[in-house]
Structure 1
């Protein structure tokens, strides 16, 4: 009787073990893994790489122009190609979808002057595009005003100069007292963002009066010749006029429109147009690969 009970128990145990998982298999013996995950309530759990989360490479690049197809995408992290965005470069963007009629992008070009854009689709209306001002596309001029950068050359009183990324390769030569020549350029910047002829930012006093006159000329080869002379600002009350000492020994002052260098501690900011073969423009032409890296440096020349 005892033997029969034991055999029956063994058979019952074996029957109970049928279809059970072997712990040593660590789940490898699950016949339908997706169904198993779903039954655990994890069917909608994000995996690494889904919607770009945790991805080392945003391979889920959109096809077509960003604004045209973007409304179909869920929130997430994406990449885009040069043909997909107005910057015409490779880049990445974060998509935030409130609902069908309200969506936003944070757009990050891989290179170029515009470090970030905000694109917004609000209330079911058309897409709106906003440029974010950063140190990559704006800077403070010598008077403390924020201005669009692009190719800028800063000229200092002793004739030394500073270029930014986009004006790299341009040079300034001091030809004489208050006389400078800017070379390797094609005149003033063509978009006129700084004024009618492209733009020079002249140093000013606390009352907003310019401290020097600037006589400029664009030469046939695109170089710019600049002459600086003293500005008395005689229309101001005597105590507020620009009385600049010319010689400490003789206590003499510059006269109005007399040639002079820039006052100490000031500079001229000149926004120029660079030729197609400039260092910056060549970087843009030779940069189709989104994985290529570019150094961003300022060059100070003497």
Structure 2
């Protein structure tokens, strides 16, 4: 706090001091601050005449008062404060203008907008009209996709094939079945079926794939030998297990397995071979007999075998002389 007190006179530029040292506290263009009756007066200094006298730049407009405490403010300090106030005011006005512009875009622009944030950065996003437009194109959950504009194209976009929208023939397939009424269009690997005699271990409906001799007891095929297997599990419960069957064929055997029930569970039987022209001969009475190994030799040296003699080779060594091996 500076030394002494001052006296201010209404409508006068003269300031007198008591116990003051104006030359050490003030110079031209500085400011003197005093509080008179609760009102703060900031007065510019035009000149300093002595330690107890100075002249103001403009006349004091308050009531004449003596014995006032006072505060000197250097010109640079007050200018800095004023400049900061001006800068803060400009920033506030600029922010207010940005707010007006931002809200104008939010409510009146269409599509995406870019708004200015208080820190000077920007943010891009949808306007209110843009959001409304997007919402107008939404699907109604209660419609369960019935409000799709192009259902066929939507099906393609989801990667769904024709079978995804084909109705099932309910005359043949029960619509209450828990299974999917779709024909398998790939091979099955029945080698993975451990309990190969149990009907319930195989899939419902018609399936086809690879099996081994191990899974076809009684077929005569080696345990690791491959067999093509068609499995027909024709009913989903035990009420018609007798209608299921398996057909197995490879280059040596052809036959089937039927089913039987034991203790309430359906099983496949041992393999039953089919008789056909490859493993039978026709007797003189026209009946078919299980064939023994037969090799037919022709005059040109060619030979024909049946299933029982498959693998036999014939070599013509001389007229009427043939070597049969195997």
Query: Which interval holds the TM-score relative to the shorter structure?
Result: 0.3 to 0.5
Higher helix share: 2
Compute the TM-score of the two structures, normalised by the length of structure 1.
Answer: 0.38
Higher strand share: 2
